[in-house]
Amino acid sequence: MARAPDPSTPQDTIDFGYERVALPDKVGRVRAVFDSVADRYDVMNDLMSFGIHRLWKRFVLSQTGLRPGGRALDVAGGTGDLTIGMSRQVGPAGRVVLSDINAAMLANGRSHLLDSGVAGNVDFVLANAEALPFKDASFDCVTIGFGLRNVTDKAAALRSMRRVLRPGGQLLVLEFSKPQAPGLAPIYDAYSFGVLPLLGKWVANDADSYRYLAESIRMFPDQPTLESMMRDAGFEGVRHHNLTGGIVAVHRGWVY
C-alpha cells in the first residue's frame, strides 16, 4: 500500500515518488521526466515489461465496448497504443481523441499513429487530466493507461473524466498496482529498484526518471483504495481486474 500520510507533512506539498515537493511544482517535475524519456518510451516499455504491456493494453481494448461510430478519449495517452486500438474499433464514422499534458509525448503519439495509418479519425489535444477541455457527456469510453499515478490531483482527474462520459459510458484505468500473488512482492521490488534504473541509464540515459517510476508505483493507491476513489468521483458498478498477479490492475467504472 502507499505510505500513510504523515500528520507533520505540510499540506501544500505532494509526493513526487518518495520525495515531497510543493504542489505547484509537481506538474513541472513530471513534465521533465516525460520530456526526458519520450523518444525512448516505447522501447523502454517493451524492455521493462518483456513486452507484456501489449497484452495488458489488449485486455483493456477488449473491455471498451466501443462500436463503429463511437467516440472515445485516451487521457494521458502518450504514444497512443490504446488510441490506435480504439480508432480501429470506432472506424471511420467514429472519433478518438488522444490527449496528454506533455507536448513531447503528444508529438510522439501523433508520429506513432501516422506511421500506423490510423490517424484519420483521431484528434490530438494538449490537455490536463484534471480539467479536460471537452463538453459534458462527449464520450462513450475514456481510458487512461499508466497516467493516473502522475496526476497531481487524482480525485479531480477522476471527476473530470466522469464529467465527459455519456450516460452508459465507462472509464477504464490501466495502472501499476499492488502484487497479490504470494511471494511476488519482494521479487517485484528487487526488479523495480535494481533493474529498472539500470535499464533507464543504459537505454534512455536517464536512471533518475525510472527510479521515479518505481517510486511513483509504490505511492499509488492500492486496488480497493482506487475503487473507493472512483466511487467518490461518481462512478457506479466499479470493479477491478488484476493482471500478472496484481502488478497491474484494470479498474472500470460506469456513468448511469
**Residue 27 scores a pLDDT above 90:** no
How is residue 34 written as a grid cell?
A: 516525460
- Flag whether pLDDT at 205 surpasses 90: no
pLDDT: which is higher, 196 or 166: 166
Q: Give the pLDDT score at 142.
A: 98
Q: How many domains does the chain have?
A: 1
- pLDDT interval class at 148 (50, 70, 90): very high
User: Is 147 part of any domain?
Assistant: yes
Q: Which pTM does this prediction carry? A: 0.89
Residue owning grid cell 480504439: 86
Residue 138 lies in a domain: yes
Which triple of cell numbers denotes residue 106? 503528444
* pLDDT over threshold 60, residue 4: no
Domain, as residue range, for 38: 13-180+212-254
- Residue 7's contacts (CB-CB under 8 Å, 6 or more residues apart) are none
pLDDT of residue 48: 79
Does 187 map to a domain?
A: no
- 115 assigned to some structural domain: yes
**Looking at the predicted structure, is the pLDDT value of residue 144 above 90?**
yes
Q: How many CB atoms lie within 10 A of CB 32?
A: 14
Tell me the DSSP string of 79-111.
T-HHHHHHHHHH-TTSEEEEEES-HHHHHHHHH
pLDDT tops 90 at residue 200: no
Burial of 115 (0-12, 13-18, 19+ CB in 10 A): exposed
Distance between CA 82 and CA 88 in Å, rounded?
10
- Mean pLDDT of the 189-199 span: 86
Q: Do 109 and 39 form a contact (C-beta atoms < 8 A)?
A: no
**pLDDT per residue over 64-83, tens digit each?**
999 999 999 999 998 899 99
Average of per-residue pLDDT across 193-200: 83
Predicted local confidence at residue 6, as pLDDT: 52
Question: In this structure, is residue 199 part of a structural domain?
Answer: no
pLDDT reported for residue 11 = 60
CA-based angle 134:135:138, to the nearest 5?
Answer: 90
Query: Picking from 112-116, 131-135, 155-159, 244-248, which range would have the lowest pLDDT averaged per residue?
Result: 112-116
145 is a domain residue: yes
Q: What is the CATH number of the domain that holds 231?
A: 3.40.50.150
Give the pairing of strands 139-145 and 122-126. Answer: unpaired
92-113 pLDDT per residue, tens: 999 999 999 999 999 999 999 9
Tell whether the model's pLDDT for residue 143 goes beyond 90.
Answer: yes
> How far apart are the C-alpha atoms of 138 and 161, rounded to whole Å?
10
Q: pLDDT value at position 183? A: 92
| Rounded Cα–Cα distance for residues 229 and 251 (Å) | 11
Average pLDDT over residues 175-204: 87
* CA distances to 118, 148, 155, 247 from 24, in Å: 36, 17, 16, 30
Q: Classify 249 as helix, strand or coil.
A: strand
Residue located via cell numbers 500513510: 4
In the numeric block, which cell numbers belong to residue 217?
Answer: 508505483
CB 242 within 8 Å of CB 249: yes
Alpha helix ranges (H) inside 152-252 = 154-163, 184-190, 196-204, 207-219, 223-232
The greatest distance separating any two alpha carbons of the chain, rounded to the nearest whole angstrom, comes to: 54
Query: How do residues 184-193 score in pLDDT, each as one tens digit?
Result: 999 989 988 8
Q: Taking residues 152-166, report their average pLDDT.
A: 97
Residue 2 banded pLDDT, cuts 50, 70, 90 = very low
**Per-residue confidence at 7, pLDDT binned at 50, 70, 90?**
very low
Which candidate, 205, 194, 137, places its Cα nearest to that of 168?
A: 137
